[in-house]
Chains A and B, each alone.
Chain A
Amino acid sequence: MLRKSSLFWFGSIALAGVLLFRTSYQVQEAREELSAVNHKIASAQEAIQVLKAEWGFFNEPARLEQLTEHYLHLRPTETVQLASLTSLTAVPMRPQVTPAVVRDQPQPTPPVRAPYAGASAPQLAAAPLAVVASAEAAQPAPAPVPHEPARTAVAAAPAGPTKRPPRKPVVHRPQAPARDEVAMLLARLGGN
Chain B
Amino acid sequence: MTGRGTDEIVADLGSQSRRGGAVLEHGGMTRPTAPLRDVVGHALEQAHNRLMVTAAVLSLAFGVIAIRVADVTLLGPNVDTHAALAAAGTPQGGRADIIDRNGALLATSLATASLYADPKLIIDPKAATRKLVKALPELNHDEVLAKLSSEKRFVWLKRNLTPRQHYAVHVLGLPGLFFQNEERRFYPSGSLTSHVVGFTGVDNNGLAGLEQSFDKKLKASSTPLQTSIDLRLQHILRREVQAQVDEFKGIGAAGLIYDVNTGEVLAMVSLPDFDPHEPAGLDKDTLFNRVTLGVYEMGSTFKIFNSAMSLDTGRIRLSDAFDATHAIHVGRFTISDYHGKNRWLTVPEIFMYSSNIGSVRMALQIGTATQKQFMAKMGFLQPVPVEIPEAAWPLVPHPWRDINTMTIAFGHGISVSALHLVVASASVLNGGIMVKPTLLKRQPGVPIQGERVVSERTSEQMRKLFRLVVTDGTAKFADVPGYLVGGKTGTADKQRGRHYAQNARLSSFIGAFPMNAPRYIVFVMVDEPKPSAATHGYATGGWVAAPAVGRLVRQIGPLLGVEPVDENRPEIRQAMAIEHLNRGPALAAYQPDARQE
Contact = CB atoms under 8 A, between A and B. Distances in A.
16 contacts: A35-B89, A41-B91, A49-B110, A61-B236, A62-B189, A62-B239, A82-B482, A82-B558, A123-B568, A124-B481, A180-B164, A185-B186, A186-B160, A189-B160, A191-B138, A192-B156
Given A38-B91, A60-B189, A124-B481, A49 B111 contact: yes
Given A45-B91, A77-B558, A82 B235 contact: no
B219 interface: no
Contact of A38 (B90, B110, B111, B557): B90
B188 A56 contact: yes
Nearest to B186: A53
Interface string A45-63: 1100110110111011110
Given A42-B91, A82-B563, A186-B160, 12 more contacts: A23-B73, A35-B89, A38-B91, A49-B110, A53-B186, A56-B108, A57-B188, A57-B189, A61-B236, A82-B564, A84-B563, A186-B161
A183 interface: yes
Given A61-B231, A82-B558, A56 B109 contact: no
Interface string A117-154: 00000111000000000000000000000000000000
B105 A190 contact: no
A189 B182 CA distance: 13
A61 B160 CA distance: 26
B448 to A, nearest CB: 27
Contact of B105 (A38, A45, A56, A78): A56
Nearest to A50: B110
Contacts of B189: 56-57, 60-62
B361 interface: no
B89 to A, nearest CB: 5
Interface residues of A, number: 40
B195 interface: no
A184 to B, nearest CB: 9
Contacts of B108: 49, 52-53, 56
A67 interface: no
Interface in A49-102: 49-50, 52-53, 55-57, 59-62, 65, 76-80, 82, 84
Interface of A: 23, 34-35, 38, 41-42, 45-46, 49-50, 52-53, 55-57, 59-62, 65, 76-80, 82, 84, 122-124, 180, 182-183, 185-186, 188-192
A50 B164 CA distance: 13
A148 to B, nearest CB: 22
A79 B483 CA distance: 8
Contacts of B277: 188-190
Contacts of A190: 277-278
B104 interface: yes
A34 B86 contact: yes
Interface string B72-90: 0100000000000110011
Interface in B425-468: none
Nearest to A184: B162
Nearest to A55: B105
B159 A183 contact: no
Which of B85, B156, B188: most chain A Cβ within 10 A? B188
Given A52-B108, A79-B480, A82-B564, A62 B89 contact: no
A60 B231 CA distance: 9
Contacts of B165: 183
Nearest to B566: A124
B110 A124 contact: no
Given A76-B554, A182-B162, A60 B91 contact: no
A186 B110 contact: yes
A185 B164 contact: no
A124 B104 contact: no
A56 B439 CA distance: 20
Contact of A76 (B188, B235, B555): B555
A53 B105 contact: yes
Contact of A79 (B97, B190, B482): B482
Contacts of B160: 186, 189
B184 interface: yes
Contacts of A38: 86, 89-91
B89 A34 contact: yes
